[in-house]
Amino acid sequence: MDHVPRVFTALQQARDSVKAAANGFHSQLRVALSDGIPPSRFSTFLALCREEEPDIEIRLFEIPLAQQIKGLRDDLYDLGFARSNDVGDGLIAEAVLEDPFMVAVPARHPLLAYKRVPLEEVLRHPLVLVDPQACEGYARQIERVLRRIDQEPLIAERVASCDLMMSMVAAGLALGLAGGSQIVNSREQGVVARPLAGRTSMLTTYLLRRDNEPSDVLARFIERTSSLKPPAAKTSTAVSALDSSEEREP
């Protein structure tokens, strides 16, 4: 019974490979996404892969982190993206993207008096954070930031997506803690991004894969992930720009 789900997944992937070949693809890469990383986050990167190797089909699977790790070991996925490098033996985790952690603040909130918000001030207010079961690695990184202060956070809600987090922040129900680009690119106009005071903590995205020699197709895909990494100077500039940003009116 323990092997039945894996067997049926493998059968379905075999069918998908036949369809891919019938549609003109010469090969296929199975990419798992965990911790609330949306495919749109990689839209430019995936477009580059499609442009450079149009005969390679890239299939995306949004799954929990534990399922991704098990699937990589069982050869159900070729590689994955997650926000945890705690993957155990037999797998490699390589940092491919970093985003500064920032506070999502409702427009006209008193904390907007700070250009950089002290963490102890953040913890005086209700927080909406990601659900550890839906976004395990993401939640672990947030917990590390919160543990800087010996103060229990007041968690108003746990959510499975950044979109819902930003909706709650825009409604004035709580503050959020997320990557700066997630806040800035939010569709909610009544949300302002503020950096945390002190040293900058980064929300890190990792590429996960088996610890073996990758195929040529996979090696080229991994090499292209370097396009996801912004220069260090660019990250620093982005934080500075948010420091001086004005409130976005709802």
Stretch 219-240: mean pLDDT = 67
CA distance 195 to 100: 8
Report yes or no: 156 and 182 within 8 Å, Cβ to Cβ: no
238 falls in which pLDDT band (50, 70, 90)?
Answer: very low
Question: pLDDT value at position 250?
Answer: 37
Which tens digit of pLDDT belongs to each residue from 167-181? 999 999 999 999 998
pLDDT at residue 248 tops 50: no
Helix (H, G, I), strand (E, B) or coil at 140: helix
Burial (CB count within 10 angstroms: exposed 0-12, middle 13-18, buried 19+), residue 46? middle
User: Is 110 within 8 Å of 199 (Cβ atoms)?
Assistant: no
pLDDT digits (tens, 9 = 90+) for 1-42: 777 766 766 666 566 555 544 444 447 899 999 998 876 667
Residue 132 CA to its chain's centroid (Å): 13
The pLDDT score that the predictor gives to residue 42 is 78
Judged against a pLDDT cut of 60, whether residue 237 lies above it is answered with no
Nearest to 154 by CA among 135, 137, 173: 173
* Confidence band of 194 (pLDDT split at 50, 70, 90): very high
Q: With bands split at pLDDT 50, 70 and 90, how would you rate the model's confidence at 189?
A: confident
Q: Which domains does the chain have, with CATH numbers?
A: 4-96+205-229 (3.40.190.10), 98-202 (3.40.190.10)
Provide the angle, in degrees to the nearest 10, between the axes of the packed helices 43-52 and 216-224: 140
At residue 62, the 3 state secondary structure works out as strand
Q: What is the pLDDT of residues 83-95, one digit of tens each?
A: 999 999 999 999 9
> Is pLDDT above 90 for 243?
no
Lowest mean pLDDT among 82-86, 158-162, 184-188, 195-199: 184-188
The mean pLDDT value for 96-108 works out to: 94
pLDDT above 80: residue 216: yes
Say which residues have a Cβ less than 8 Å from residue 152's Cβ, sequence separation at least 6: 123
Rounded-to-5 percentages of helix, strand, coil across the chain = 40, 25, 35
